[in-house]
Amino acid sequence: MTALTWDAIDQKAVDTVKILAADAVEKVGNGHPGTAISLAPLAYLLFQKVMRRDPKDLQWLGRDRFILSAGHSSLTQYIQLFLEGSGLELDDLEALRTWGSKTPGHPEYGHTPGVEITTGPLGQGLASSVGFAYAQRYERGLFDPDAAQGESPFDHHVYVIASDGDIEEGVTSEAGSLAGVQQLGNLIAFYDSNQISIEDDTNIALSEDVAARYAAYGWQVQTVDWNTKAGYVEDVHKLWDAIETAKANTTQPSLIVLKTIIGWPSPTKQNTGKIHGSAMGADEVAGLKKALGFDPEKSFDVDPAVLEHTRASHDRIQEFKAAWQERFDAWAVANADRKKLLDRLSSGAAPEGVADVLPVFEPGKDVSTRAASGKVINAIAAVMPELWGGSADLAESNNTTIEDAESFLPPERSTAMWSGSPYGRVLHFGIREHAMASILSGIVLHGNTRPFGATFLIFSDYMRPAVRLASLMKVPSIYVWTHDSVALGEDGPTHQPVEQLTALRAIPNLEIVRPADANEVAWAWKTMLERRVGPAGIVLSRQNLPVFARGDGAASGDTLAAASNVAKGAYVLAEAQGGAPDVILLSTGSEVQIALAAREQLEADGVHARVVSVPSQEWFAEQDAAYRESVLPTAVRARVSIEAGLALTWAPLLGDAGRHVSIEHYGASADYKTLYQKFGLTAEAAVAAAKESIAAASA
C-alpha cells in the first residue's frame, strides 16, 4: 500500500474549496453548499491524488471515470475541475446556476467539460456507474482479454460519490445487487453518510444498516468515521488507506462509508438541514471563513500558490500516462484487427455490410415482430461484436438472446441454462427494469459499444426516469419493448399497454419505432444502430403478423413499398389506385394490416385510399418538407390513424378533418382477436372513420 503525501498546501487547497462552495451559493442565492463543504477533502483527494485523469486530455482512453451521483452538490465537482484547470475558471464558479453558465445546478453531460454523466434525479449516477463498470470489463474483453489484471491499457476504475438520497432511491438497490453479482472490482463508491437531507435528520426515513445491506449484495464495505472521541477530524490518510484497500480488491465492488458532518466547520448550521439546500447567509459564511483562517471580507479568495499547485496535476499524471501509452502502442502493434475495431467504435460508425446480413422474411408465413427481432439481433451480432444485451428476466419472451454467446457473468455463477464468462455478450438484469435502463446509459457513456435491454412495453413505466435522463443526454441506448398492445391478450389490463406509446413519444429526443412486419423490423434495427443521436425504443408484437409481399422500391399499383423505407419514419406502403388518394390511412405495428384491409374495402366502394406505414413519428419529423408533403399531401385532408393505443400523438398528422381508430381506455382479459373486435380495432371501423373524415374534409 503506497503512502499518501499531504502537505500544508494540500490542506490550504481543501479549505479553499470549502469557502468557494459557500461563496458560490451565497452569490447566486440558492444551491447546496453543505455537502460540497464537508466533502472537500474527499473530492480533492480523488482529483489530485487518486484518479488517473489528465485535465488537458479529458477524453483520454485510459482515464478513470468520476461520477457525482449526489448531483445537487455540483460544486463538489465544479470546484475540482476549476482547480485542476480542465476548462472551468473562477468566473464560472461565480456564475453558478445562472443562464448560459458552464456551471448549471446539476452536472450535465456534454455541457461542462469533464462531466461524464448528467446526474440530476438522485440514484441515477450510482446506478449508471454500474453500467460504466460493466462497459470497462466488456471493452477489455473485446480488445485485450488475455492481459494480466492491471496490465491492460483498458484497465481503470470508476469512482462514485453518493449521498443518503442516492442510497434511499430504490434504483441503487437494484443496480447494487447486480454489481455484487458481477463482482465489479473496478467500481469504488463513496457513501457520504452525513444523515441529513432536506427534511433534516434522515432518521425519520432511513433506519437500516446500509453497510450490512451492501455487504449482503456482495460488496466489500469499509467505514471511515471522521467523528472521533477527540472530535471531528478529517483524516485523509485513513480515507486514502481505504481507497488503496478497495483498489486492491479486484473481485468485489467497494463501498466506502464516509461518516461526515455536513457543512463542517460552519459555526451554527453544520449538521442541520439548513445548510443542505439553501444559501448559508452572510453571517454564517463569514463565520466559516474565520474558522478556516480566511478573510471574511473577501469572496472567491484563491491563493495563487494553491492554484499553481493544483494545476500541476497535469504534470503529475504524465509519467503514468507515458507508461500507459507505451502499453497501448505495444498492444496496437500486436493486435492490428482489434485496433481497427477500436478505431471504428471510437468513430461511432457501424460496420460496413450490415444491410447484407439482414434476414429477409418471405411472405406467406406469419411472424411476430418480437420473433423477427430475435433473428435480426443474431444476424447483426455476427458482424457487430460491440452489440450486446439482454432482458429483465424475459429473454424467452423478448427474444433477445444472442445465440451461442456466453453470458456476461462470473463463470462460477453459471447455471444449467446459462454459461458465464466475464466477457460474455448476454446480459441478465433480473426483474430490475429501472436499473437496466440506468446501466445501459452507463455502458454507452463509457464507450461506444451498443447495448440493448428488453422488457414488456407496459414495464417501460418502471424504466421511465432513466429513459428520460438518457434522452436528456442524447445517449444512444436501445430499448426492446415487446407485448406492445392489448393484443398480448389474456394477461389482462395490468399487462396491456394503452397509454405507453403516447407517454414515450412525449419524451424529447426519444425515438419510438413500431414496425409493421418482420422486414420492417430488420430495417428498423439497421437504422437504430446507424444513428447515434439519442435513445431508441423498438416496440414489438407478441402475436404473429403477416409478412407483406413487397417490391424493391416505392409503392405502385398493388405493389407494396420496400421495407428499407423504414429509415424515413413514414412512407407510402400502398398507393391509392391512380395515385390520387381520397383518404390517407396512417398506421403502425400490428394495425397496418388493418389499414391494408380497409384500403381494399374502400376501393370496392370506389374510394381511393393510400396506406402510410409510420414506424417512427420522430424519424418522419426529421425529413425535409418536400418528402413529408409527398407522403401526406396538404391537399388531402381526409386522414385516419389506426393504432392500438391512445390517439393523442397522431393529432399533428391528422389535421382538422382527421379521425382515429384507437383505444382510449384500459383493456381486458381475452384473446387478442376478441379484444380487437370488441374494442373496434377492425377494418370496418377504419372504413367508417375514413368516410367520416372524407365528409368532414368536404364540409
Active site residues: 433
Kindly give, in sequence order, each residue whose CB lies less than 8 Å from that of residue 579, ignoring residues fewer than 6 positions away: none
**Residues 550, 516 contacting (CB under 8 angstroms):** no
**Residues 192, 264 contacting (CB under 8 angstroms):** no
Largest CA distance in the chain: 93
**Residues 256, 214 contacting (CB under 8 angstroms):** no
Q: Which of 124, 138, 36 is nearest to 80 (CA)?
A: 36
Q: Give the distance from CA 298 to its chain's centroid.
A: 42
Q: Which of 422, 472, 475, 420 is nearest to 453 (CA)?
A: 475
Q: Which of 405, 398, 388, 513 is nearest to 452 (CA)?
A: 388
**Residues 423, 141 contacting (CB under 8 angstroms):** yes
> Alpha-carbon distance 309 to 174, whole Å?
41
> Alpha-carbon distance 628 to 568, whole Å?
10
Q: Facing residues of 65 across strands?
A: 158
Radius of gyration of the chain (CA): 28
DSSP calls for 70-84:
-GGGTHHHHHHHHHH
How many C-beta neighbours within 10 Å does residue 126 have?
A: 31
> Alpha-carbon distance 13 to 303, whole Å?
9
Count of residues making up the chain: 699
> Alpha-carbon distance 302 to 94, whole Å?
13
Torsion of Cα atoms, 373 then 654 then 493 then 490, to 10°: -50
What is the phi/psi pair of residue 186, to 5°?
-90, 0
- Let me know how many helices (H) and strands (E) the chain has, helices first: 27, 24
Helix, strand, coil abundance in the chain, percent, nearest 5? 45, 15, 40
Phi-psi region of 397 (alpha: psi -120 to 50; beta: other; left: phi over 0): alpha
**Residues 266, 275 contacting (CB under 8 angstroms):** yes
> Alpha-carbon distance 577 to 594, whole Å?
18
User: Which triple of cell numbers denotes residue 623?
Assistant: 425529413
> Alpha-carbon distance 592 to 226, whole Å?
65
What is the phi/psi pair of residue 159, to 5°?
-110, 135
> Alpha-carbon distance 342 to 322, whole Å?
20
DSSP calls for 571-601:
EEEEPPGGG--SEEEEE-GGGHHHHHHHHHH
CA–CA distances in Å: residue 289 to residues 364, 482, 665: 79, 58, 61
